[in-house]
Amino acid sequence: MHPPVLIADAAGLAQLVQTLEACHAIAVDTESNSLHAYRERVCLIQFSTPSEDYLVDAIALPDLSALAPMFANPAQQKIFHAAEYDVTCLGRDYGFTFSNLFDTMSAARTLGWPQVGLAAILEARFGVTLNKAYQKADWARRPLTPEQIDYARHDTHYLVALRDLQVQELSAAGHWEEAQEDFARLARLPASVAATADPMAFWRVKGAYDLTPAQAALLRAVHAFREAEAARLDRPPFKVMDEATLLALARHAPANLEDLRRLARVPPPQVQRYGRGLLEAIEAGRHAPPVKPPVTPREPDDIRDRHDRLRAWRKQRAQTRGVESDVILPKSTLRDLARRPPVTLDDLAAIADFGPWRRALYGPEILALLATERAPALPSM
């Protein structure tokens, strides 16, 4: 195995683009710093061809627009494992669009493999043991260590060979067209949106809906304080203060530093670092109007009933085949079928993420299932 090529300047990137242009299939992965920054970013992009591994330093090279044509090129296959995260992050940070994807995790799920994580697959299929020690590393820190470089290159090094194996198995099992529909759906995923301040985010704290309106106003205030501190320190919010602490502050509303110290959920270092700021936030929350939980619109009963029946049908189909339910139909398709029930096979073409292969295989069953609700009841004798 050759040492990987580290790309950290414009000349190296230009040479890489020229090299990749000649490749029919390219393995791709990314490393981000989500556990170490307030707003995550792509820090490293790995590429592998059948003969070489490349690591593109996205910290040293903020302009990676030269890679855009390759990602969008329908004549070149981009091989990912668990593509959804990488595709949305690359779209968010660089505006890349994608075509001709192959996702080895999606393929493993379609085939009904018992384990679909990359490490488990490589050990079972290639006898390779991956080092997981750097999964939570801070990939924005430089220089990268030799161990990080070795870890990163292994995430793509075997993907081309794994793709070749899966293509054979998908074709032999008659699931190639099905897998292609999933790959196309992944390529259409919208880019992840850079996080902005959400004034309703405090409702996502576990236990928030159990608070009184006055306590919810306090939770909103201390949650906003935590977000501001996390942004100032460039740290993930959970590393500033966990949600259980926010909830305890909202419930007990400490009035002074001594009250804060007596609150078991707030350790002394947090009292020392954030005490006065928290007390100011709590005081502001006390004077804020009470806050009632948002009301989530309830789907009409007929839509809920259709969704339940479709979900039960999908589960039975999945159990018979030995795969997860969303391999049969994605959640987006199930929701759309329930909300816009088709009457004819032609109607199915307008349903979200319902490709020709699935329409041909499952369409008549689904139409028959949905037709039962439209059939008039027989008169009682």
CATH number of 201-286: 1.10.150.80
Please give the average per-residue pLDDT across 288-317, as a whole number: 95
Stretch(es) of the chain classified as CATH 1.10.150.80: 201-286, 301-374
pLDDT by residue (tens digit) across 223-234? 999 999 999 999
* Greater pLDDT, 102 or 192: 102
- Our CA dihedral for 211, 215, 219, 225, rounded to 10 degrees, sits at -170
Q: What value does the mean pLDDT take over residues 45-72?
A: 97
Pair 306, 337: CB distance under 8 Å: yes
User: What is the CATH number that goes with domain 5-187?
Assistant: 3.30.420.10
Between CA 112 and CA 116 the distance in angstroms is 9
pLDDT score of 377 more than 60: no
Q: Given this model, what pLDDT does residue 264 score?
A: 78
Per-residue model confidence as pLDDT tens digits over 90-124: 999 999 999 999 999 999 999 999 999 999 999 99
CATH top-level class of 301-374: mainly alpha
- pLDDT of 315 above 90: yes
Please report which confidence band the pLDDT of residue 89 belongs to, taking 50, 70 and 90 as the band edges. very high
> The pTM is what?
0.92
Q: What is the mean pLDDT of the chain?
A: 94
What does DSSP say about strands 101-103 and 77-80: parallel, antiparallel, or unpaired?
A: parallel
At 188, the pLDDT band (50, 70, 90 cuts) reads very high
Among 110, 102, 116, smallest CA distance to 184 is for 102
Tell me the pLDDT tens digit for each residue of 239-298. 999 999 999 999 999 999 999 999 878 889 999 999 999 999 999 999 999 999 998 889
**Closest by Cα among 93, 87, 128, 129 to 106:** 87
What is the model's pLDDT at position 372? Answer: 83
Q: Is 289 left (phi over 0), alpha (psi -120 to 50) or beta?
A: beta
**Predicted pLDDT at 234:** 97
Looking at the predicted structure, is the pLDDT value of residue 379 above 70?
Answer: no
